[in-house]
Amino acid sequence: MCGIAGFVNLDGAPADARVLVAMTAMLHHRGPDDRGTLCLPLRGGVADVALGCQRLKVVDLSDRGRQPMANADGSIVLLLNGEVYDAFDHRTGLERDGYRFRSDTDTEVVLALYERDGLERTLDQIDGMFALAIADTRRGAVHLVRDRVGIKPLYWTRQGDSLLFASEAKAFLAHPAFRAEIDAAAIDELLAFRYVAGPETPLTGVRQVAPGHYLTVTCGGIAETRYWSIPDCPDKAGLSTEDAVGRLEELLGRSVRAQLRSDVNVGCQLSGGVDSSLVTALASSHHPGGIDAFSIVFSEPRFSEEPWIIAAADSSHVTSHRFRFDEPAFVDALDAASWHMDQPIGHPNALALWCLARWARERATVLLTGEGPDELFAGYERFARALTSDEFIRASQFHSQARLSKLRPDADLRPALEKRAGLFLDGHADRLSNCVQYEMRTHLPEVLLRQDRMMMAHGVESRVPFLDRRVIEFARALPPGHVMGKPLVKALATRRFGAAFASRAKSTFNLPLAQYFRGRRFVSLMEDRLLPGMAARGLVDVAVVRRWWRRALSAPATTEGFWIVVALELWAQQFVDGGRSHLPPS
């Protein structure tokens, strides 16, 4: 696990090693254990490609795993952020074909596979979470690759004759050609949905490599290729419920075992919900040395899952570490979490995750988490209400066009709705399957981005066993009756924890925002910084924001819709206004 950054000078100009070092240093929090940088010529001549890595040592803690990592003759150089869980399954075959390994890392296995088999065959063979940058001087190409569902982030932007890439967009601030500017065209979608779907971001000219895609950069330009699509299976598997639950348990157990591989301490992120509890139970059963589980709890009973956390921890025989999140922790985390997120924090529970990672880092470097099954197995309430594609898309809105127009009189949601409708119609199966693939291409990458940012802010690697390739393929082949409402996941949880645990109403991990908003420190923040900042920035009508804030103080149900306006200004002040103040000293 690490943070990667670099650039390609498309005009062949020499790469400035000082800029590369500065960009890489911006990601120190992602990999505080080691740093490596390299400038090399892509087409012969001057060194016009720059590659940098901040390494978090998880597998093979020696310096042999340092990145950038080159093959024997130096013609191929690779950066890898993430973990390829089945990498060592390929090692014996590579050794039989003559490869001599210098390390015990998955990075070197991927490098060897690429040298032997090329990019497409390598990507077809490996499973895990990864963002790759591969400089291939034999072919005069740089490949930027993102894993199938977007567990690991990878940003890019073209600035003049340079293409910049990084695990986090903040690394671009260290490049002299880059200026952080808000993309006004993205603001309406951001305020309505709390995030921007697809590869676009709220920053002008900054995009993400889409999940299941790669970019190829050559002297001839930039090309994008989709190497994997979410499976559509018109012929659904005819499994009985009992057989389907057994198959899920087998696949998920295999995934958990693979993701427990580490040379540092591994724990679990236990929310008390069905999904994270299942992962925790399976991890404990495959980790006989004992495992730690880390949780956020609240003093307010209606927000806290503490009784269920205790029940899941006791049943799974893990050591439970529960951290109480309160108003001081909320306010203390606002600026730091906004800086680390690289975009407005869509869901305020990210602040609790930020604190959880900081606390957990004292005992574990890797955490297994339960993200994924709500999207993969149709666990959200909106799945049951989906009658048409437009209705399903609008079910995840927090502001309607009418409400948004009060905040921004010239707001226009049509481009965002048309884009999202196009993503929905990209599926070619039944309606429920299309809803699932839409969620996996829109909401799931946003959930995973939040998880990555808040964990890696403190150098904690987050792993998601439910998003194993085999689990995804299994879920996509199930008939609707085995998908709608996560029945298989709940049945498996019933086996482990009992019916009362598995069948309770779903918790949304919300925060008691109305209470936090009334606190003296937040009131001061709003009056002294945020409202004046909004007025000067001109993206929203501050008079409307003031009315919404007063309403949020007295009607807690309205706080979620109001939050994104706060998050937008917090991020803009941290990232756009003050971003360069975070640059490391030269």
pLDDT digits (tens, 9 = 90+) for 503-555: 888 776 688 888 899 899 999 999 999 999 999 999 999 999 998 888 877 76
pLDDT at 387 (0 to 100):
65
pLDDT at 417 (0 to 100):
94
pLDDT at 445 (0 to 100):
97
Please say whether the beta carbons of 488 and 248 come within 8 A.
yes
Tokens of 263: 């040379």
Low-confidence ranges of the chain (pLDDT < 50): none
What is the CATH architecture of 2-226? Answer: 4-Layer Sandwich (3.60)
* Residues 126, 122: Cα–Cα separation, whole Å: 6
CATH superfamily of 241-381+444-502: HUPs (3.40.50.620)
**Residue 168 class from Cβ within 10 Å (0-12 exposed, 13-18 middle, 19+ buried)?**
buried
Could you read off the pLDDT of 290-313 as tens digits, one per residue?
899 999 999 887 888 999 999 999
CA distances from 395 to 357, 386, 439 (A): 31, 8, 12
* Residues 115, 107: Cα–Cα separation, whole Å: 13
pLDDT at 308 (0 to 100):
95
Residues 6+ positions from 532 with CB-CB distance below 8 Å: none
Could you read off the pLDDT of 173-211 as tens digits, one per residue?
999 999 999 998 899 999 999 999 999 999 999 999 999
Tokens of 287: 């980790």
pLDDT at 391 (0 to 100):
86
Could you read off the pLDDT of 275-291 as tens digits, one per residue?
999 999 999 999 877 89
pLDDT at 560 (0 to 100):
66
Distance, C-alpha 487 to centroid of its chain: 26
Q: Is 571 left (phi over 0), alpha (psi -120 to 50) or beta?
A: alpha
pLDDT at 219 (0 to 100):
87
pLDDT at 514 (0 to 100):
85
| Cβ neighbours, 10 Å, residue 328 | 11
Q: Where are the domains of the chain?
A: 2-226, 241-381+444-502, 513-582
pLDDT at 280 (0 to 100):
98
Secondary-structure percent of the chain, ordered helix, strand, coil, rounded to 5: 45, 15, 35
